[in-house]
Structure 1
Amino acid sequence: MPSSIRARGQGRRLLAAVVSHAFEVTNVHRLVIGLFPDNLRARRMYEAIGFQAEGISRGSAYFGGEHRDELVMSLLRPEWQAANA
């Protein structure tokens, strides 16, 4: 993401809007996102939206010619509803 977007928090607002749209328009119960465990900036953003860490999926991401661990995070409809009541 370009630094001009990160600096203004637009990425967080965009993702929050996508999450809200998913829960408002569909019957989805659970949203899942994966990220590299060392990506603390992304993790903080996802946690601010309401995602919770579930655990590490070992060696599940193939990136740059190597298998890397992936942190799995999720957000359930009841959690989102409680936070947005």
Structure 2
Amino acid sequence: MFRNSATLVIAAAALAAPAPVLAKGCIRGAVAGGVAGHYAHHHAIAGAMAGCAAGHYYYKHKAKVAAQQRTAAGR
């Protein structure tokens, strides 16, 4: 009972305070990780968290490589 009500309070607080999206790649990674975690012994939450981290890392790496290529092309 407490777990469900605590989850609802946290979700409501997160939705009530709009903030700019800084974690690009997180949503797509969280969805993929959640699905994979669900099928891997019902660990959807852990999979979503790991997927979010991996998606964010991948996006940052991709943006860094693209910036380096733009810099090299401009020389």
Task: Report the structure number with the largest CA radius of gyration.
Answer: 2
Q: What's the TM-score, normalizing by structure 1?
A: 0.27
Q: What's the TM-score, normalizing by structure 2?
A: 0.29
Comparing both structures, which one devotes a greater share of its residues to helix? 2
